[in-house]
Amino acid sequence: MTQPGAWEKSLVYLTSRPRTERQVKEYLLNKGFDYAEVEETITQLKEANYLNDLRFAEGFARARSEGKLHGRFRLRRDMISRGVSPSTADKALDDVYTYIDEEEILEKALNKWIRINGKPDNINSKKRLNDYLFRLGFEPQAIISKIRAIGDSDEE
């Protein structure tokens, strides 16, 4: 049976916000628990449904796409850096994007940039806008078509 220390520490760690399996494992190892005890605790957390990388990834994608206006590429990269497997990240993104329209999020990010910086009126400002949207993780082709649409609407 797992020592109460590792189980209790992991529960406290999980109460502040959702975590991935890798994050909990690193946390417990950094707290000085031995590897076997950490693995046993991770198994128990998964059996008790306190630890679920798919659930973490879906919640993370939902919150970041709507709150921080991140696109699919950025979300996937951020999830993988937190320890979610690429296949789990892809499944979570597919599930989340059945409810969320990525083009709508791109439009919101574009409008936010325009609200702060004004409409891009030269090549340098269009490049800055492109770079901003790319860093947020949107598909390059979608970014280009949105920026072109701004230019087309100016000409009318």
pLDDT surpasses 50 at 14: yes
Q: Which residue has the higher pLDDT, 151 or 38?
A: 38
> What pLDDT is attached to residue 5?
87
pLDDT surpasses 80 at 4: no
User: Tokens for 27?
Assistant: 């946390």
Tell me what the pLDDT averaged over the chain comes to: 91
> What pLDDT is attached to residue 8?
92
Give the distance between the most distant pair of CA atoms in the chain: 72
Residues 30-34 have a mean pLDDT of: 93
pLDDT surpasses 80 at 10: yes
Q: Which residue has the higher pLDDT, 3 or 93?
A: 93
> What pLDDT is attached to residue 156?
46
pLDDT surpasses 70 at 3: no
> What pLDDT is attached to residue 134?
96
Please give the Cα distance from 101 to 49 (Å, whole number). Answer: 29
Tell me the per-residue pLDDT of 33-57, one tens digit each, with 9 for 90 and over: 999 999 999 999 999 999 999 999 9
Percent of residues, the chain, with pLDDT higher than 90: 87
Please give the Cα distance from 80 to 146 (Å, whole number). Answer: 28
Alpha-helical (H) ranges within the chain are: 4-16, 21-30, 35-47, 53-67, 72-81, 86-96, 102-117, 123-135, 140-155
